[in-house]
Amino acid sequence: MIKCHFVTFGVFISGFELRIWRKGMGWDQERAAEELGVSLRTYKRYEKAGEVAKLIELATLALSMGVIVA
Domain count within the chain: 1
Mean pLDDT value of segment 21-48: 93
Whichever domain contains 27, its CATH number is 1.10.260.40
Residue spans of beta strands (DSSP E) within 1-70: 2-4, 7-9
State pTM to two decimals. 0.71
| Residue 57 placed within a domain | yes
The span from the CA of 49 to the CA of 65, in Å, is: 24
Mean pLDDT rounded to a whole number for the chain: 79
Q: Virtual CA dihedral for 33, 37, 38, 40, nearest 10 degrees?
A: 30
The pLDDT assigned to 10 comes to 54
| Residue 31 placed within a domain | yes
The pLDDT assigned to 59 comes to 76
Give the range of the structural domain holding residue 28, as residue numbers without chain letter: 2-64
| Residue 70 placed within a domain | no
| Residue 69 placed within a domain | no
